[in-house]
Structure 1
Amino acid sequence: MTLQVAFFVGSDVTSHLAVNAAVRSLAAEDAGIHLFYTAQKPNPEAPRDRREMFFIEHQLMNDVLYPHLDAAGTGAGAEYAAGAEYGPYRTPDALARMDPNRITVQRLDSVNSPETIQELQRRGITLGFSVRCYQKFGADIIRYFATATGHSAHSALLNLHPGVLPAYRGVLTYARAMANSEAHAGFTLHHINADWDAGDVLSCATQPLDHDRSVLENMIRHHRAGAALIHEAVVQTLEGERLLSVPQPADEARYYTHATPEELTAIKDKGIRLFRAEPVIEALVRAFCADGGSTARGARKVLRDAVAGAGIPS
């Protein structure tokens, strides 16, 4: 019986790159992939730095690049829809076309709705990954994964957290790690329970931080390490192994909330930039477009135009 795996995916660039990498790595495994995309809305009351980062981290990909690439298949850029100018990764719509018998794609308003749990049951999903989904999983869906049975005797609902746990729970953890002069940061795979980022840890992958690059650049550069944690958990489940985990030491836990304007200023005063637009544009073009093709050139132009139109320095 094929293992059915769900991904609850946020709207940020790092998550989409990590999920794409995970999907690629699972191509040879006996696993059905069900991608549930969620969305986060911009906060007009957020400090300007945070609003600009949201545009670069979320909107540039979802509202600019994806529509441009998906629309290319209807006109002169039909070669993109046919796959001739794909980069290593694909838009959600292109993923849905890639292998409809094995990969499904769905936009999701709420991970906790009865309809979501019914859909998980209908598809026989027993292993779930939250990849920066931005929604707190409630008791019903946690209970579903705790009791689901199918391909394996073991089921689980896991979170891929961008930060080393338990020291970096919460949000903007890469920025906090850089502000704390950490040499490394990374991703932690852990069980989801009723508390934010507090479940038992399965694995953690760290890589060096480059303090000459921005926060978002470091996260993007590390996305494959997070995908590798997902791949290993899927393979272990396929082989019938129990996903071993350990509790987080409570005395080492620290939770970071959204940064205040004063905290953002302190981070900036340390020479840390939340993002740089041009490196993100180049990362997106490399990820989703073939090198040197007309699609890459067109994508680069629309992305740069969008950044300029938003009044954000490149």
Structure 2
Amino acid sequence: MTLQIAFFIGSDVTSHLTVNAAIRSLAGEDVGIHLFYTGQKPPSSAPRERRDLYFIEHQLTNGVLYPYLDAANVPVGPYQTPLAIAQTAPGRIRSERVSEINSPALIEELVRKGVTLGFSVRCYQKFGADIIRYFSEAAEHAALLNLHPGALPAYRGVLTYARAMANSEEHAGFTLHHINADWDAGNILSCVTQPLDYRSSVLENMLRHHRSGAALIREAVVQTTEGERLLSVPQQESAARYYTHATPAELTEFQDKGLELFRAEAVIETLVRAFCVGDDSTARGARKLLRDAVVDAGILA
């Protein structure tokens, strides 16, 4: 029986690269994939550094690169836009945008599609009691899991890679854990870390690690298709620390330590390599379009 999987996906570049990698890794598995894309509002009242990070993380893909590639109708690179993913395998992969993951209509849709395994990939919305209950009762091996960019329980919350680098950690990575009523606090299935490169920005480090996060997803899917129970362990609350958005003073502290949240040119090159073929005219056009967008946003002089 085909396993039906749901991905609840944020609008940021790390989550989109991770989901692309996960889908590619599951090409040979007997699974149906349902992609629910969510959005995040720009932080209009936040410090300039956070607003610039939002533009680089969210707008460059959704507002600039994806419309260009979808209109170009040319062969794509290793990864695909959300529209192209759905068009490539319409019988196996379905895609839609949702505004509220806790809506009764979405839960009814999960029931109709027979979804029993869910992954939140930087979804940004808090899962409520009803959808958590649905996955707890949907089937014997059903689960609702979160792929968290940070080593739990020490790095709960947001900007965890920045916090890890500010704390001079040697490694950072992704944790796959069950979703419960509290943020980033459910039982842990697996965690993978990789060395941090302090010559690169925070976002570059996250992007470089995205395949390791995708590998955790694949492992959970394969175990479920083989009828294995997903083993997990409780988090050690005494070691837990939750980080909120950085204050202006903390952002200044990051800078004083020589840390950059992002480097626009590095992100642009990552996107071109991921979504384009070689250095053809489409790739060159994408690179120019992305650079122009960053300059127009006042991020590059």
Question: Normalising to structure 1: TM-score of the pair?
Answer: 0.95
What's 2:204 paired with?
A: 217
Amino acid aligned to 1:121: V
- How far apart in 2 are the matches of 1:269 and 1:19? 34
Write the mapping of 1:135-214 to structure 2, written as runs, cut at 5 A: 135-149=125-139, 153-214=140-201
Question: For structure 2, which runs of at least 5 residues remain unmatched after alignment?
Answer: none
What's 2:275 paired with?
A: 288
Number of residues of Structure 1 aligned to a counterpart in Structure 2:
301
- How far apart in 2 are the matches of 1:217 and 1:23? 22
* Alpha-carbon offset, residue 71 of structure 1: 1.3
Matched, 1:248 2:238: no
- How far apart in 1 are the matches of 2:283 and 2:43? 31
Q: Deviations over 1:127-164 (max 9, x none)?
A: 00000000000000000000002xxx300000000000
Q: Deviations over 1:16-38 (max 9, x none)?
A: 00000000000000000110000
Within the candidate set 270, 295, 300, 1:308 is matched to: 295
* Alpha-carbon offset, residue 313 of structure 1: 2.0
Matched, 1:229 2:216: yes
Within the candidate set 94, 119, 122, 2:84 is matched to: 94
User: Which contiguous aligned blocks of 4+ residues in structure 1 show a shift greater than 6 angstroms?
Assistant: none
What's 2:110 paired with?
A: 120
- How far apart in 2 are the matches of 1:219 and 1:302? 23
Say which SS state the counterpart of residue 313 (structure 1) adopts.
Answer: coil
- How far apart in 2 are the matches of 1:143 and 1:13? 30
Write the mapping of 1:46-125 to structure 2, written as runs, cut at 5 A: 46-73=46-73, 80=74, 85-125=75-115
Say which SS state the counterpart of residue 126 (structure 1) adopts.
Answer: strand
* Alpha-carbon offset, residue 237 of structure 1: 0.1
Say which SS state the counterpart of residue 29 (structure 1) adopts.
Answer: coil
Question: Normalising to structure 2: TM-score of the pair?
Answer: 0.99
Matched, 1:258 2:251: no
What's 1:19 paired with?
A: 19
Between the two proteins, what is the percent identity of the paired residues? 74
* Alpha-carbon offset, residue 50 of structure 1: 0.3
- How far apart in 1 are the matches of 2:230 and 2:138? 15
* Alpha-carbon offset, residue 262 of structure 1: 0.5
